[in-house]
Structure 1
Amino acid sequence: MLIGEVARRSGVSARMLRHYDTLGLVRPTGRTVGGYREYSPEDIRRIFHVEGLRSLGLSLSQIGRALDEAGFTPSTLVGDLIRKTEERLNREQELLERLRTVDAAEPSGWQDVLRIVELLHGLGSQSAARRLQAVLAPAEGVSVPAEMLAEAVLTESDPNVAGALRWALARAGGDGVASVASGMASEDVDVRRRVVLALAELPGDEATVVLTDALGDPDTTTRRHAALALGARGVTQAVPELVGTVLTGPNDVEAAELLGTLAQDAKWADRIMSALVYGLTAHAADSAVRMRLTQALAEMPGTTALDTLRQLSRDDDRAVALIASALVEKLEKRLDDELGQP
């Protein structure tokens, strides 16, 4: 079969077939009387082998070795190709995300594009100080898109930069909640914790829904921060986790204050008191827990906790008893004032 017919049937150009011949990769078995290349069925089969290996990203020299060296094994070479392809895909994914970020900012001209790129470089810097500067003092004339800030929030490990990013995100508007909330699907517990901390500073029902779902997260810290954020919004679904926070700490003081606020609702006052009293019973042998519960009882409205505090004023732990006694004295004075007694 002559070169033109081979090119037509194989889809490989005649020019490339001549190149293969020059390299010794696919040399036609014969020549016609006029000196034209003539390919045998075996030659054509080799052409298809070459094209198949090219489709995997092998160079022509690598293909030559693969086809001609009997001891050539593909494992190492294929592994290298996989790694290089993954690196290329990662670079292309980064480029795609960068282009999407630029597009979301709706630049009016190339100067705007350059400012956004400068901001991206700042947020991607290895220096925490440089990242902080990029958040607090972005390039002139650039409003940072909420989606860009959300992405940075999910990956930022420096606490100062993370705080600045949350602050900026809360003021950016846009679709920040949805962008941040996507991180709740991450298997990385640190990412989920960052999501909850960011959502705590974002207003609206959408953020509240995601925070409520986070109460079921397997990570204790994620649940705790979600409960604190929800308690501040007056969401009573957070009560069990807030009580648990009082029992175990940290953030027990903040949790106690929130429980006191939620207990202003008469429908929840009894439930919260019952949970705190149950905690005293369940942790009767742990004076540190009893101390935290005593301080939480002090946050209950009115004289709701007076009887329980009277019992604690006789606690075996002197510190617990002293604090409870002081609280009882304060509440009894308040009660006397309300009753008008001298």
Structure 2
Amino acid sequence: MTLPLLGPVSLTGFQHIFWLLFFLVVVAGLIGLYVAAQLARRRRLQQFANTELLDSVAPHRPSPWRHAPAALLAISLLLCTIALAGPTYDQRLPRNRAVVMLAIDVSQSMKATDVEPSRLAAAQEASKKFVDELTPGINLGVIAYAGTATVMVSPTTNRDASRRAIDNLQVADRTATGEAIFTALSSISTVGAVIGGGDTPPPARIVLFSDGKETVPNNPDNPKGAFTAARTAKDQGVPISTISFGTKNGSVEVNDERVPVPVDDEMMRKIAQLSGGESYTASNIDELNKVYATLQDQIGYETVRGEATTGWLRLAALTAALAAVASLLVNRRLPL
């Protein structure tokens, strides 16, 4: 949380937990001394004053508001204690060096109309929305894959190029998921070598969009298979976020015959698991948009630990000032 003029006063941890505990004990001791002083004062009053005469001479008891300045001062000390302990807060910052490869399946099964108007048309619409909303500083590349994988757009911050590539997607035969992943890894490696701004390669992610299982090669554990590629991605520190799109009732027409093309969630989940990524499913355009929105939030921003000392110090100073004002108004003197 950020307050105007005060700065961030959120709290997720401390840099110096020892000082926090030490000064908390000190503040607790001061509060205890104040309470003990008030009790001692009351005992002295009861010892040397006639309570019946006191009731007639001073029928109005002191207002409990007389303790407000001391309470505010104690709160100020607590806030100072938090500030001295080095409070930290989590802040979300847009990524600028990240690389994202969007690999879209354009096999014949993407012509299925179980998702209106078709799986491919819905994928194009949602993917362009994802491109438009992705953090501007991210380098985005687009790959289309069927029997082979083609880099439509190398990683770039030019969103118009990515949109045009998605508009031009055309279906083809077979599904080489492993080749698509290896192609994405190659593009990431190439652009990572030329992107500056850090001592380490830029963070990267592959978003793999498909509706069915790999058909080339037949075994996903082959050297060029999807599972082998997913393990390679894990070794290179590139997680794969998979999106399974479609329903179990999908079908396409081949030579005047209806051929069922049910979505294959299991393979996509295994690819994500092997790579250290996450898997998502969507059976309509609305669900797909929600998946892309989730990915945009994960990919487009990073959470870093920030220092919040200044905000807590300012809040402590403000509370101390309120304690002084309250003391002048209630007790007609500054708190000592």
In the superposition, the TM-score normalised over structure 1's length comes to 0.20
Structure with more helix by fraction: 1
TM-score (norm 2): 0.20
- The structure whose Rg is larger is 1
Structure number with higher strand proportion: 2
- Which gives a bigger RCO, structure 1 or 2 (Cα 8 Å, sep 6+)? 2
